[in-house]
Amino acid sequence: MSEITYQVWLKDTTGARIATFVGRRRNRPGALWGFNYNKRLRTPGQFTVRIDGNDERIDLFGLDYQVEFWRRDTRAGLDWYKDFEGFHRSWELSQDQEGRDVFVSRGRGYNDLLAAEPIRYYTGSDYCCKSGAAETVAKAYVDENIGPAATCPPRVGSGVMPGLAIETDRGTGATWDGCRSGNLLDALTELADYGPGDFMVVGTGPATFEFRWRDVRWGQDKTQGNGIRPPVTFGPAYRNATNLQYNYSRLDEVNAVYVLGQGTEDTRTIETVTSGAELDSPWARRAVSRDARDATDDMLEARGYATLYEQRAKRTMTFDARQTVACRYGRDWTMGDLVTVEFRGMTLDQKVIGVQVSLTSGGVESVQPEVEEP
């Protein structure tokens, strides 16, 4: 038996499991021909499942039916655990090069609920303008726009998502002050950068979900020298990373921001903030303007620094993780952790912001972390 195995569960809108896909079935047509999913902090993520087109169970797939990916790694001592979950939102039937019929299910993770509704209250109200810890503000925006409090009135149209609860607030993160309308997910991402923190919508039971926030990071610090936990280091010398690529890009960098506050023309308040990177060469300066007329004067500097952080020069590393005895996905590291990467004499601490997992029809697993500077 393979040391790493998967099951794909299909659940209806009540949360009842109606099918389990594990591979070819004895004496019956149908098979799980593979899948891939990309789970990523602060974003919906996505998945694709490929099934034999002659499998009668493909007729069970319905809009927003829940698809769960369960993983087991006997070498790591991991029994079945849920690694990703999402809503079925698209399907197709096709024929491959060998003439076989293929059914494909596609969908997004539960964070897609955060993109289902905007912040929809009258501008200037307490539902748009808030002050408090980043976690507190984030959970208020979620509750009031897709949570139990998203009723009409006071919201301009009900946004209540059935089964969604909000985790108890612990008031973590830096104090944030501002007004937001429009895209809810964008506002949450800004709050997570500012806090800092990470957020996810996770399944908690049959057709029930919860919005959760983690102070600073979703996972744990497992870098070299963290002093608390055994470190996790990726690199060719450890035989746990292949296809490594390091990239340092300043192509889309912003290092100076003109933050345009309240007022008009020559009476408008303008705050200029810089990162210092504009001095790195005679031509290094890259400046942008940002409209912040919804902010008070004492909020402009923070708004500018948020833009500098979001559009800073990027150092990125990509690699494929290999399962070794000492370093296994799901046991030693997972999404949200801080890890160390060694490559060509460089030692880089990186945050695992996402993981791309795929399984071929032959049962071969591929795990590719998505990492960035913490």
Condensed to tens digits (0 to 9), the pLDDT of residues 257-274 reads: 999 999 988 899 999 999
Distance CA 361, CA 297 (A): 58
| pLDDT of 298 strictly over 90 | no
Model confidence band, residue 27 (pLDDT cutoffs 50, 70, 90): low
pLDDT at 1 exceeding the cut of 70: no
DSSP character string of 245-256: EEEEE-TT---E
329-355: pLDDT as tens digits? 999 999 999 999 999 999 999 999 999
pLDDT at 98: 86
Task: Say if CB 337 and CB 219 are below 8 A apart.
Answer: yes
> Mean pLDDT over all residues of the chain?
94
3-state SS assignment for residue 228: coil
Arch. (CATH architecture) of 4-108:
Beta Barrel (2.40)
**In whole angstroms, how far apart are CA 33 and each of 25, 39, 144, 228, 268?**
12, 20, 41, 42, 61
pLDDT tier for residue 293 given thresholds of 50, 70 and 90 = confident
